[in-house]
Amino acid sequence: MRKLVSAAKALLTLQVGLFVGASRIENVLRTLGSEFDTKHKIFSEFTKAVPKDIPVGSARLWWDAEAMLKTDLKLASVEERFRVKLLAECVVIIRQYD
């Protein structure tokens, strides 16, 4: 549970970006079992909603800057739809498991 709480804190405090933080939490949830993944499904819903042709995380370093910045409007739109839900679920995780 420490890894889950740590990942939730990193996302809640925005020490990591939304996609990287949600992916990290999603991976930890998978290791904890399907009931955890189902209970906190917003993270996988978000990562699946981000189009595969948008660079995220360290992949952004390898993209042409101009091309990458053009994709940011799409990424920002998805992030806007999920931001409050993701952060609220981080609060739930921290309160429940810390």
Q: How confident is the model at residue 67 (pLDDT cuts 50, 70, 90)?
A: confident
pLDDT of 3 above 90: yes
Using a 10 angstrom Cβ sphere, with 0-12 exposed, 13-18 middle and 19 or more buried, the burial of residue 11 is buried
Q: Which residue has the tokens 């992949």?
A: 59
pLDDT of 68 above 90: no
pLDDT at position 60: 87
The DSSP letter of residue 58 is G
The residue type found at 88 is: A
Q: pLDDT tens for residues 7-62?
A: 999 999 999 999 999 999 999 999 999 899 899 999 999 999 999 999 888 888 89
Question: Whole-model pTM?
Answer: 0.90
